[in-house]
């Protein structure tokens, strides 16, 4: 019985992925131990923020980094930094940014909801979202023509939540931003490559600590030193409501060190093998059809996609509702439920979970 069951809550089998609504990820022992040690000692927090920024940057290749309590906070703080340029009179007035260049240009297909609208994080930082194009098609000239004297930055969201077709590429967005003397901010919250976007020329990149890294609840902004200095100053403004604990910072550093030591190719191969194990057994359940699919955003993440024969009399939404009933509660990835498919993400599974998923699905299908 885990700590949540002792509180009277259901045990959760997370086959959804690194999702905030399920607690994102679990802590490896070395990360948990580092967080505990960090929490049991005192430190000058401003000095720790600077030191952790240096340590993060060693993993990203950026000039400097600013630790945050989450990726969402990272977006808000990064936008605030770019809007105020670190000026105290401006940052203490936020979220009111009247009179400042505050427009944040993003493609309409990138204006997503990841549990909250991304526009809220932008507005918390004093930014005014300026959506360009249509939901499934944006032209480079539309972005260029949207730029005016009130523009603070361009914004690019790299996520499975986004429309994947018809959008202007990050390479083009970076080129447009820099030709117009503007910075570009990239939301790479769940991405697995901590160096890629800095190396491509992005000025600021936001990552989650608790997703790919399996760190404590945390995040960070990494990029150009001057812009990062503007971000750090936000802890005297809106960042005060988003402050990050010393134990979170120490856990994040430990997770970054651990992440660099992992054989990610072998890990992806192991996950694929588990997906294939699931598919074989799910395909033996009458009415079910399971196939392997790769992550929508191109990451080396493989999932089991399950569809249902109409004669079984249940939709994917109904099957999902029944999988969540009882204890333990099994949560699939919900992206395709309205389209008639369940997705099982095997990365968060612990020993015994995959067998439990198959058995519960079998019982649901048998009625």
Render pLDDT for 224-264 as a digit per residue (tens, 0 to 9).
Answer: 999 999 999 999 999 999 999 999 999 999 999 999 999 99
Whether 191 and 323 map to the same domain: the answer is no
**CA neighbor of 203 nearest in space, from 96, 60, 55, 46:** 60
Q: Are residues 207 and 92 in the same domain?
A: yes
**What's the N-to-C CA distance of the chain in angstroms?**
28
Question: Burial level of 52, CB count in 10 A (0-12/13-18/19+)?
Answer: buried
- Output the six-digit token pair for 199: 């190396």
Residues of the domain holding 179: 43-261
- How is residue 234 annotated by DSSP? G
User: Is 179 part of a structural domain of the chain?
Assistant: yes
pLDDT at residue 213 in the model:
95
Residue 200 lies in a domain: yes
Quick one: tokens of 361?
Answer: 């699905």
| Domain presence at residue 155 | yes
Q: Which of 67-76, 179-188, 289-298 has the lowest mean pLDDT?
A: 289-298
pLDDT value at residue 299: 84
Under DSSP, the state recorded for 134 is B
Mean pLDDT of the 62-69 span: 98
Query: Considering the domain boundaries, does residue 362 fall inside one?
Result: yes
Confidence of residue 160 (pLDDT cuts 50, 70, 90): confident
Residues in the chain: 367
- The mean pLDDT of the chain is 95
If asked whether residues 177 and 320 sit together in one domain, one would say no
Q: pLDDT band for 38, please (50, 70, 90 cuts).
A: very high
Q: Does 240 share its domain with 215?
A: yes
Q: What is the dihedral of CA 273, 275, 278, 280, to 10 degrees?
A: -70
Q: Is residue 33 part of a domain?
A: no
Tell me: do 177 and 310 sit in the same domain.
Answer: no
Q: Which of 18, 35, 3 is nearest to 255 (CA)?
A: 35
**Ramachandran category for residue 201: left, alpha or beta (phi over 0 → left; psi -120 to 50 → alpha):** left
Stretch 211-216: mean pLDDT? 95
Contact 263, 77 (CB under 8 A): no
The helix, strand and coil proportions of the chain, stated in percent and rounded to the nearest 5, come to 45, 20, 35
Structural domain includes residue 30: no
The band of 1, judged by pLDDT with boundaries at 50, 70 and 90, is confident
Lowest pLDDT segment from 6-20, 41-55, 75-89: 6-20
Tokens, residue 364: 């649901």
Which helix (H) or strand (E) element contains residue 95? none
- Does the predicted model carry a pTM greater than 0.85? yes
pLDDT of 235 reads 97
Q: What pLDDT, on a 0 to 100 scale, did the predictor assign at position 106? A: 98
Domains contained in the chain, number = 2
Same domain, 272 and 303: yes
Assess whether 221 and 302 both reside in one domain: no
Q: Quick check: 40 and 357 in contact, CB under 8 A? A: no
pLDDT at residue 310 tops 90: no
Q: Would you state the structure tokens that stand for residue 343, as one six-digit string?
A: 């997705």
Measured from the Cβ of residue 293, the count of other Cβ atoms closer than 10 Å reads 15
- Are both 47 and 162 inside the same structural domain? yes
| CATH code (residue 234) | 3.40.640.10
Q: Is residue 29 part of a domain?
A: no
Please check whether residues 151 and 141 belong to one and the same domain.
yes
Give the pLDDT band of residue 335 (cuts 50, 70, 90).
confident
C-alpha distances (whole Å) from 159 to each of 65, 87, 364 are 21, 31, 32
Residue 311 reports pLDDT greater than 90: no
Domain end among 226, 244, 261: 261
Q: Identify any residues that bridge with 332 across adjacent strands, giving them in sequence order.
A: 15
What is the residue-wise DSSP string for 235-285?
GGTGGGGG---HHHHHHHHHHHHHHHHS-HHHHHHHHHHHHHHHHHHHTTS
Residue 286 lies in a domain: yes
Same domain, 256 and 270: no
- Domain stop point among 233, 261, 289: 261
Asked if residue 296 has pLDDT above 90, the reply is no
Residues 197-209, mean pLDDT to the nearest whole number? 98
pLDDT at position 297 is 76
């Amino acid at each position: 019985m885990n700590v949540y069951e002792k509180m009277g809550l259901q045990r959760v089998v997370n086959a959804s992925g690194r999702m905030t609504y399920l607690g994102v990820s679990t802590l490896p022992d070395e990360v948990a131990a580092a967080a505990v040690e960090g929490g049991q000692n005192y430190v000058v927090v401003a000095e720790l923020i600077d030191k952790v920024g240096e340590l993060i940057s060693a993993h990203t290749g950026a000039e400097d980094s600013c630790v945050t309590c989450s990726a969402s906070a990272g977006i808000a703080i990064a936008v605030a930094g770019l809007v105020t340029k670190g000026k105290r009179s401006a940052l203490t007035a936020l979220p009111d940014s009247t009179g400042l260049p505050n427009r944040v240009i993003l493609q309409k297909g990138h204006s997503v909801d990841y549990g909250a609208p991304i526009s809220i994080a932008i507005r918390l930082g004093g930014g005014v979202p300026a959506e360009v194009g249509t939901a499934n098609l944006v032209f480079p000239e539309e972005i260029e023509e949207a730029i005016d004297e009130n523009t603070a930055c361009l914004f690019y969201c790299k996520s499975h939540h986004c429309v994947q077709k018809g959008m202007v590429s990050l390479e083009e967005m970076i080129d447009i931003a820099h030709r117009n003397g503007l910075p570009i901010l990239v939301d790479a919250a769940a991405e697995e490559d901590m160096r890629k976007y800095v190396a491509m020329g992005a000025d600021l990149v936001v990552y989650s600590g608790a997703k790919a890294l399996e760190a404590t609840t945390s995040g960070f902004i990494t990029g150009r030193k001057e812009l990062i200095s503007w971000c750090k100053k936000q802890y005297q403004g809106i960042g005060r409501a988003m402050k990050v604990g010393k134990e979170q910072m120490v856990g994040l550093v430990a997770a970054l060190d651990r992440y660099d030591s992992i054989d990610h190719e072998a890990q992806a191969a192991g996950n694929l093998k588990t997906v294939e194990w699931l598919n074989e057994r799910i395909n033996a359940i009458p009415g079910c059809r399971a196939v392997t699919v790769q992550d929508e955003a191109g990451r080396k993440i493989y999932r089991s996609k399950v569809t249902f024969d109409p004669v079984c009399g249940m939709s994917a939404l109904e099957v999902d509702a029944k999988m969540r009933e009882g204890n333990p509660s099994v949560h699939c990835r919900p992206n395709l439920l309205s389209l008639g498919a369940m997705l099982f993400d095997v990365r968060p599974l612990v020993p015994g979970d995959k067998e439990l998923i198959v058995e519960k699905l079998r019982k649901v299908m048998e009625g």
